[in-house]
A = this chain, B = another copy of it.
């Protein structure tokens, strides 16, 4: 761009900082090569979209006596029934004795808007959030867009959180004063995007204890977007909202109604028991769009009440379990493991996280990526999913979007790439 463009002199610090999403490069490669099969996109499978259920919900709204208030503006915080349904749902999932308060629920434009409102109310440029290794890459971009530094929580070699190391880190930060800049800890704790890893209760509790020892209480943000998308059984851990000992932390649980139903409806939610924080996030939402589409919320109320939502979920679980199996069977039968690759079979979500041979480099612009494109397959380089010190040899594979047959074909192309990259 020419330096004389008048807009460049007008940009805010944030405007200057903003850069294209890292995934853009991948997507343009996909557009240029139409026979490419994408194991990259986190989209859901078009086959499973609940067309009948959405139509039935709209017809049922239509048949409801009275004026169609759901075609009118709703409130900024969201529809009361939907908020109550979601509070009850998470209350059940967390096996709570008491009930979550409906007032703590906010409805947002997907769970992404919830994360965005949370960071905007907490973080100034130069602030720090702690993230898992690996973590959700759109959260990293959101943080960096705000000038916020996402840093990795410390891990042991076996992939579990290293609490003594965190303890030392917090002691150092307390001494240097840097701890004031630490605003939040972000956990993708159920069938994580990207790793499909889930976080045991004991790990969440131990995190809380470590912070409490240093008398620092950053916001704990738990992203539960894939909690409902388990294959065999729900992950048993209760959420941060239900764990004794975390009450002193400002808590936010972010979820979505539409990832496991119809992403095109785009309704997410947050549960935030901290009234002061919740109000600020609502004021900000009031300025940024003053409310999520009322119609979409009304459709969700219908399908949650009628049971259609949960029936769809059952269908989805079977469907994605089948696709996971198809993908992993291809990897196994073609010998990906014998080429030095490792993975854990996911118990839910849409992703398989692959660790390649230690010396392999899978990032953007690497030989491996070029070869994969030549072989007609797209993946997300694992490096994009790290706050810092990316390991270089990892890959996110999504089995969400491709139908089963193409999924097997794409997996075959991936294994061929892996074989060609082994010396």
Contacts and interface: CB of A to CB of B under 8 A. Distances in A.
Interface of A: 1, 5-15, 18-21, 43-44, 46-47, 49-51, 54-55, 58-59, 62, 67-74, 108-110, 112-113, 116, 120-124, 127, 138, 141-142, 145, 180, 183-184, 217-219, 248-250, 262-267, 274, 276-277, 279-280, 283-284, 286-296, 298
Given A6-B248, A12-B122, A113 B289 contact: yes
Which secondary structure dominates chain A's binding surface? helix
A130 to B, nearest CB: 13
A73 B290 contact: no
A400 B72 CA distance: 12
A116 to B, nearest CB: 4
A128 to B, nearest CB: 12
A103 B368 CA distance: 34
A177 to B, nearest CB: 13
Contacts of A248: 6
Contacts of A14: 120-121, 124, 284
Contact of A264 (B19, B70, B112): B70
Nearest to A43: B73
Nearest to A113: B289
Contacts of A49: 67-68, 71-72
A250 B113 CA distance: 27
Contacts of A51: 62, 68, 71
A292 B266 contact: yes
A109 B145 CA distance: 20
Name the residue among A6, A10, A284 with the largest chain B CB count within 10 angstroms.
Answer: A10
Name the residue among A15, A116, A274 with the largest chain B CB count within 10 angstroms.
Answer: A15
Contacts of A72: 43-44, 46, 49, 262-264
Contacts of A7: 219, 250, 274, 276-277
Counted per complex, copies of this chain come to: 2
A51 B219 CA distance: 43
A54 B47 contact: no
Given A55-B58, A58-B55, A250-B7, A264 B280 contact: no
B264 A293 contact: yes
Given A11-B121, A15-B122, A141-B287, 13 more contacts: A5-B274, A5-B276, A12-B124, A12-B183, A14-B120, A18-B280, A18-B284, A44-B73, A46-B68, A49-B71, A58-B58, A72-B263, A262-B295
B73 A286 contact: no
B262 A71 contact: yes
Contacts of A274: 5, 7
B279 A266 contact: no
A170 to B, nearest CB: 15
A218 B108 CA distance: 32
18 contacts: A1-B276, A7-B219, A10-B218, A10-B219, A11-B122, A12-B183, A14-B121, A20-B283, A46-B69, A54-B58, A71-B262, A72-B263, A74-B264, A108-B289, A263-B294, A264-B295, A266-B291, A266-B292
Nearest to A296: B293
Nearest to A120: B14
A5 B250 CA distance: 9
Contacts of A43: 72-73
A218 B9 CA distance: 9
A38 to B, nearest CB: 13
Contacts of A18: 121, 280, 283-284, 287
Given A121-B15, A286-B21, A250 B6 contact: yes
